[in-house]
Amino acid sequence: MVLFMTLATWVAHQKNALSELRAFKNHLCWLEKTSSESGKTIKSLMHRHQNKTQMISDTEHSVGSLVHGYGGGSFWLNEYCVWYINKCDQHLYIYDFKTQHRRKIKLDLPKDEIWHLADGQIIPSGQSICVVERHQRNNICYALALITPETGEANILHADHDFYAYPKVNDTMTQLCWISWQNPNMPWQESQLNIAELSIDTCTISISEVLHDDRVSYSQPTWHHESLLYLCDKSGFHNLYRKNAISDECILQEDYDMGEPLWQLGVSTYSIIDPDNLIIRAQAISQEKLIRVDLNHLTATPIQSHFTHFEPYLTGTNGKLACIAKGVDRLTSIELIGSHTIRPSDNLPKNIDWCQPECLSFKNHLEQDTYAFFYLPPNTDQLPPLMVNCHGGPTAGINTALKPEIQFWTNLGYAVLDVAYSGSIGYGRAYQERLDGQFGQLDALDCIAATKYLINTNRIDRNRINIKGKSSGGLT
């Protein structure tokens, strides 16, 4: 019973403890699960500068956006300040790094409208361009808006698309790009990259070019000098492209997924770390690695690391890559790759046996290659009962990082089968699209096929099989 309670408490504490890591020069911010003065669990905004870390959001604020329902992109920063959203009321706050003063921005909005903001960028004028979810009397619609903090003036820049993400302004404030998509598509099914001429003085934009193809997803545009970097899956995998006045070409094409489904705003699976280099996360068969790309010579060099999973919040700071990382025997920490740990992971409970994942490859009922991770309980001398885990999404994935919930079950004597059913990410677009029109069917059949594989190879007790899932995995 003591072991059970220790594990249960530990699992509850570990869930989503660190998220949304972003940097600007030598300022680094992230969200961290803490307790408010009134005892509530909240997500606090942390700031690290000159080797000092402190909480900068109000002690009763839980930072988080509600845009698109799933949120993300709940703060953005430059070298002077950070703008953040308080989740409970969706109000906008600005924290000044120098004065350590926090103030609420009251927006001057049209009558009978409530705005939720997210995924912004502070531009050199001190204003922000961000995604806006406009709550009107009988309607919710989306737009890009320019926010002036001194006056609260809020100007709509563009509102012709159904959904928006990644508004990015170039260094000269003359061009704006963003990702958009239309109903009924999800952004990983079909989206487009828009490029527009921008006039801050008149609060107007004029679209000059659109990158769009049927059943192709664009994501994560970033300006770099006179070029625009972005991810696109026209090859069947999300790969890295670069567009400028001379060419538009893939500069890192591999059978790896380098993107992330846009369930939440603000995700970043690559980051420019200095004028000549970027680092990108790549996934293949649920295995992850970091790759350094020389943007001048277009060479790619894998980075050696003992970490096996990198959350989609890669960010460059002082020529290094900061990231939220995990390993097969390591909890979540914030790491400066090739340097040191910024925010250490919590201590592992003592007297616990940690189980390592075994990668399985098997055929589903359609004779398609399908994958899973299998965890055996420690010190077992008989065939163990099985817990089948169906991840959520369904457009999501699995990885080999230490998962408290899985270790909870293995230490209670269960084997655990973590299934990357058809529709999962990390295996290319074709694998992801297998589930189209068959959600709730093919994913369930893949879980059955994985279980039969273990039965046929005499790995589990066929009379003691359980299955669980959350969100869409519950339907599976």
Give the model confidence (pLDDT) of 109-144 as tens digits.
988 899 999 999 999 999 999 999 999 988 999 999
pLDDT band at 2; cut points 50, 70, 90:
very low
**How far apart are alpha carbons 271 and 240 in whole angstroms?**
12
- The pLDDT tens digits for 286-326 are 789 999 999 999 999 999 999 999 999 999 998 999 999 99
- The pLDDT tens digits for 246-279 are 999 999 999 999 999 999 999 999 999 999 999 9
Query: Does position 475 have pLDDT exceeding 80, yes or no?
Result: no
**How far apart are alpha carbons 466 and 384 in whole angstroms?**
12
Let me know how many helices (H) and strands (E) the chain has, helices first.
5, 34
Strands 287-294 and 309-310 come out as unpaired
- The pLDDT tens digits for 141-197 are 999 999 999 999 999 999 999 999 999 999 999 999 999 999 999 999 999 999 999
Rg, the chain, Cα only: 23
Query: Does position 329 have pLDDT exceeding 60, yes or no?
Result: yes
Among 183, 333, 190, smallest CA distance to 262 is for 190
DSSP track, 219-260 = EEEEEETTEEEEEE-TTSS-EEEEE-SS-EEEEE--SSB---
Confidence (pLDDT) at 5: 54
CA atoms 116, 162, 209, 215: torsion sign = positive
Report phi then psi at 407, rounded to 5. -65, -30
Query: Does position 223 have pLDDT exceeding 70, yes or no?
Result: yes
pTM of the model: 0.94
The DSSP code for 312 is S
CA dihedral 448, 450, 452, 453 (to 10 degrees): 170
User: For residue 137, with 0-12 CB atoms within 10 Å meaning exposed, 13-18 middle and 19 or more buried, which class applies?
Assistant: exposed
Confidence (pLDDT) at 12: 67
Confidence (pLDDT) at 75: 98
Buried b / exposed e over 9-40, threshold 16 CB at 10 Å, is ebbeebeebbbbbbbbeebbbbbbbbeeeeee
Strands 270-274 and 277-284 come out as antiparallel
